[in-house]
């Protein structure tokens, strides 16, 4: 009798698992089934799918590849002008491939998952999509889903993060660079193995983090991407302006809209500072932006900050949901004195006309830059 009960229970469990996998009743959300690693190009395991080549002969103390350049894969992988290959294992959920696109093509044009920008198709440096440095990197590295479970739908989502990936993500590679504009880590970058021992602090590198989602649904994911903001702090000089990106991603199979708003404190400093923050593209008075995203679409909005008056201020990024304003981020902004002639920390509080002139100048400079 006990043997029969075990058989019945096992059959029931198998039936439930089959129903889930075939998407008969419930959506599946698989966390972190995407595992990536670097292998010698002639020693890639059978259950790993090659994504992109890594040209390097350097390794760290533990033998992990470091200081590499990305290259597109050749038809015969073993003949490629690279030493290693980044390949990914999806735990048998999906077959994938990597693709380096031509100049001015985008991953979204083909329905592929975007990974990172490359300086060329061969022997390339990499650049974070959130970098504001002027390096011109036109070739996008994408991941394409070739096959999927019957009855299932899904996507691969990759993001660039400071330090290490989250526990529900797989690390594809780490990178660090200098950028043509000076000291930075998100442009003109070389590629490193995710388990390298060469870094001693998470502030020294960024990681490309990916995950595979099966039948994904959920609210828009909102995040700040910036090389000027550290630990929710940023500094700029009087009379200068800066900007950062707010990243938005729709993980749902349905279109979604989200409304963002820029806010400050209600005190005198907040009222002054509110004149010096705005969303790019719609004038200096733009403090509110509604973004509509297609299924699985990623988009960005740019926030501008102008150092109009020396002082310490707070910048809030808020989301409007059902008429309620939800605070997403609080950023401390410090405007430092400038040595520029005619502008100093002793400058009196701006009059309305002078303030308007400064905002117009800042807008003109921004539009010229964009």
Position 153 scores a pLDDT of 60
Q: How far is the C-alpha of 353 from the C-alpha of 108, rounded, in Å?
A: 44
- The reported pLDDT for the residue numbered 305 is 93
Cα-to-chain-centroid distance, residue 2: 54
Which stretches of the chain are DSSP H helices?
2-21, 107-110, 268-273, 352-369
Chain region(s) in the chain for CATH 2.60.40.10: 217-370
pLDDT of residue 184: 72
**Which residues in the chain come in under a pLDDT of 70?**
1-32, 147-154, 179-183, 214-216, 284, 339-370
| Residues in CB range of 206: below 8 A, 6 or more apart | 128, 160, 161, 162, 163, 174, 175, 176, 185, 186, 189
Using CA atoms, how far apart are residues 180 and 196, in angstroms rounded to an integer? 25
The CATH number that domain 217-370 falls under is: 2.60.40.10
pLDDT at 59: 95
pLDDT at 285: 77
Q: Provide the pLDDT for residue 185.
A: 84
Burial 310-328 (b: 16+ CB within 10 A, else e): bbebbbbbbbeeeeeeeee
Q: What is the pLDDT of residues 183-200, one digit of tens each?
A: 678 889 999 999 999 988
pLDDT score of 251:
76
Quickly list DSSP for 255-289. -EEEEEEEE--SSHHHHHHGGGEEETTS-TT--EE
Which pLDDT belongs to residue 215?
64
């Amino acid at each position: 009798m006990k043997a029969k009960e075990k058989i019945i229970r096992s059959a029931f469990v198998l039936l439930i698992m089959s129903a889930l996998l075939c998407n008969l009743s419930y959506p599946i959300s698989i966390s972190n089934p995407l595992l990536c690693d670097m292998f010698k190009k002639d020693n890639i395991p059978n259950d790993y799918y090659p994504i992109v080549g890594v040209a390097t002969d350097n390794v760290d103390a533990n033998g992990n590849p470091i200081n590499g350049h990305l290259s597109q894969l050749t038809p015969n992988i073993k003949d490629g002008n690279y030493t290693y290959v980044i390949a990914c294992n999806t735990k048998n959920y999906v077959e994938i491939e990597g693709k380096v696109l031509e100049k001015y093509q985008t991953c979204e044009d083909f329905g592929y998952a975007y990974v990172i920008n490359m300086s060329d198709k061969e022997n390339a440096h990499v650049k974070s999509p959130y970098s504001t440095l002027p390096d011109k990197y036109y070739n996008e590295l994408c991941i394409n889903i070739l096959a999927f479970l019957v009855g299932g739908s899904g996507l691969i989502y990759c993001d660039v993060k400071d330090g290490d990936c989250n526990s529900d993500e797989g690390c594809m590679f780490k990178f660090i660079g200098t950028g043509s504009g000076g000291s930075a880590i998100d442009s003109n970058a070389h590629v490193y193995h995710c388990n390298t021992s060469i870094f001693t602090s998470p502030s020294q590198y960024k990681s490309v983090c990916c995950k595979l989602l099966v039948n994904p649904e959920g609210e828009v994911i909102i995040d700040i991407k910036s090389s000027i903001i550290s630990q929710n702090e940023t500094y700029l000089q009087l009379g200068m302006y800066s900007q950062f990106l707010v990243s938005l991603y729709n993980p749902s199979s349905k279109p979604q809209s989200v409304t963002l708003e820029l806010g400050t404190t209600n005190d005198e400093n907040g009222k002054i500072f509110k004149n010096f923050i705005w969303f790019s593209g719609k004038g200096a008075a733009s403090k509110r932006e509604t973004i509509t995203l297609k299924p699985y679409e990623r988009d960005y909005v740019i926030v501008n900050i102008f150092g109009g008056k020396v002082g310490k201020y707070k910048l809030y990024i808020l989301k409007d949901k059902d008429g309620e304003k939800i605070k997403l981020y609080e950023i401390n902004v410090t405007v430092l004195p400038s040595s520029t002639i005619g502008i100093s920390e002793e400058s009196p509080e701006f009059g309305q006309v002078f303030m308007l002139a400064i905002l117009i100048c800042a807008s003109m400079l921004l539009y010229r830059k964009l």
